Structure 1
Amino acid sequence: MKSIKNTLLGHLAVILLLASCEKEIKFKQKEVEPKIVINALQHPDSVWVINVSGSTSILDKNKPGSLPNATVSIKDEGGNVLEVLNHHSDGNFISTQGNKPLVGKTYQLEVSHINYKTVEATATFPSPVPFEIVDTSKVSFKSEESMRVKIRFADPIAESNYYFIKVMVTYKSYWFDEFGNMIDSVYNIYPESIGSNDLNVENLDENNSKAMELYVKDNLINGKTTEIDLYLNYFLFQHSEYTNITIFFASSSKEYYLHKISKNKYDATQGNPFAEPVIIYSNIKNGIGIFAGYSYSAISLK
């Protein structure tokens, strides 16, 4: 088996749908108040980036948009302001001081705007949980030629941990001139689907045997050393154009986990008129969206 090198590499938007019809409808219920929308799924390898936009009333014909004039403050657990972020573009407020969240710390977010109620949220950034690859082998998974990758990790004792697993692939593509001579090459990085039969693993894509992310909850494995079999497309290991395959094992806060689970379920029901309504989890006081943290360990297979 090839030697495996440990690496740490750097990595949703809230969708608002407004519908209108030609016939005027009189609403008897109280009009829903517009709110600030926060999108901030943050990890310690990246400086603070908080996306801020505004929702609109259901009676408002204007589309929701970014709020570049908002005041976005990052505070410590005691409420002391650490930095006021600057607006960069498209509603993204970024740390200009290079500040990043620290593992094990809790932070408060406050966003204010003259046209909206001030919103607040709290996020804790869990420590990454290391893992190892103990075996790889070529197998058949759901009638597909696959590479089985067995990973092992030790779940921390007396903690509620929420994990997700994803795979990122680097693909090298080439540019040729009219005579067939290679003139340039470019590396593309994209997520790759993975599967698992493990009872501790959730695949939210009910229509497919594999998904772009798998979720693990520790209610059955609390404090135990656990092995999980993952299945990747075998062709990734057959062709030299796939120059890197990296498994990310992420430890997230409960808020992050609940948001991702509900968002995936929401996406899966779109276009199905018979599906039960799904509410996307939010931890934003007086607003909509998510402010949550995660950290990860990563291992490159190739």
Structure 2
Amino acid sequence: MKRNRLLFAGLFFLIFAFSSCEEMVTEIDAPSVDAKYVIESFISPEDSTLIVRVGKTNPLFSVVDGDNTWINDVVVDVNGQQLTRESNSNVFYIDASAVNVQPGAEYTITLTYQSVVVSGMCTVPLQRNTSLSFDGYDSIASAWDEGYYDYYVKWSFQDFAGVENYYRVGLIKTWVDEWDFDTVRTEYYPEMTDYLSDIEHDGEEITGRMYLHYGSSLSEMTHLDLLLYTSDKAYYDYHRAVLNYSGENPFSEPVIIPTNVEGGLGCVAGVRRYEIQVF
């Protein structure tokens, strides 16, 4: 009987403790955080159009309303020249020749909304690395489909010696789908490891590979371009942080997304692009 009384007392204590915790949690006021405006633009002399994407953050504990009508009243400019909004989107654009995008030049992107002014500045890299080389293919047999393979393309390039450099490798491929015979052209979606720096590799040859295709052979492929981007540090840091973020994983570590935007968040960066046609 004494044991039962002790057990009952223990259960009562646990119920009381958890009830108290619940009351404490519900009495805490969530912090009020204002939304911030976001601008994202990657400026290159090799692009025919300068593009700026705008947005607004959803602060923690806030209600996501999905209302983007504020974009109707936004003005976006680069070095004082106003951009045109793409119909019903968050994209603004201007012909690159209109702002004379040049290597080594500085560009400032400004977003103005009512009394809010958000801006970011970058300097386009003066040098463009043009040493990219195609070094063949790798393949790994599929563990599920007999006769099918994961194909990889191998690449290399020579780093500029004596200066800090940042790069990204990429590819654009065209192939004929073996099921419906549609011709598909797509740009490879980058991974964090595709963004490179020459730290510990100054002046050296940098090599690697990236995923190309899944199929029974490469005969489905009709066109392949390899790309090498020479970028500033802001471009490198921003993309690696974004790709390292895993918002759907409850056990992932928090990732701080770097920003070089004053009055808001985002990234304005300069980048050079070099492209070679493999076939």
Same fold (TM over 0.5): yes
CA RMSD of aligned residues (A): 3.4
1:245 is the counterpart of 2:244: no
Change (3 A) 1:250 1:237: farther
Counterpart residue number, 1:256: 235
Q: Say if 2:128 and 2:274, in contact at 8 Å, map to a contact too.
A: yes
Counterpart residue number, 2:163: 159
> Counterparts of 1:1-302 in structure 2 under 5 Å?
27=29, 29=31, 31-44=32-45, 45-55=47-57, 58-59=61-62, 62-63=65-66, 65=68, 67-75=71-79, 81=80, 83-89=81-87, 90-95=89-94, 98-99=97-98, 101-114=101-114, 117-126=116-125, 127-133=127-133, 135-136=135-136, 150-173=154-177, 186-192=182-188, 204=192, 214-224=194-204, 226-230=205-209, 232-233=211-212, 238-266=217-245, 269-302=246-279
Change (3 A) 1:190 1:25: farther
1:68 match: secondary structure: helix
1:262 match: secondary structure: helix
2:76 match: secondary structure: strand
Q: Say if 1:236 and 1:242, in contact at 8 Å, map to a contact too.
A: no
Specify every segment of 5 or more residues in structure 1 that has no aligned partner in the other structure, as ranges. Answer: 1-22, 76-80, 177-184, 195-202, 205-212
Q: Say if 1:163 and 1:251, in contact at 8 Å, map to a contact too.
A: yes
Change (3 A) 1:173 1:136: closer
Instruction: Report how many residues are paired.
Output: 245
CA–CA distance in structure 2, aligned partners of residues 237 and 295 of structure 1: 35
Which amino acid in the other structure matches residue 228 of structure 1? T
CA–CA distance in structure 2, aligned partners of residues 108 and 193 of structure 1: 27
Counterpart residue number, 2:11: none
Shift in Å, 1:27 = 2.7
Q: Deviation per CA, 1:15-35, whole angstroms, max 9, x where unpaired?
A: xxxxxxxx9876364x21222
Normalization by structure 2: what TM-score?
Answer: 0.73
* Identical residues among aligned pairs (%): 21
Specify every segment of 5 or more residues in structure 2 that has no aligned partner in the other structure, as ranges. Answer: 1-24
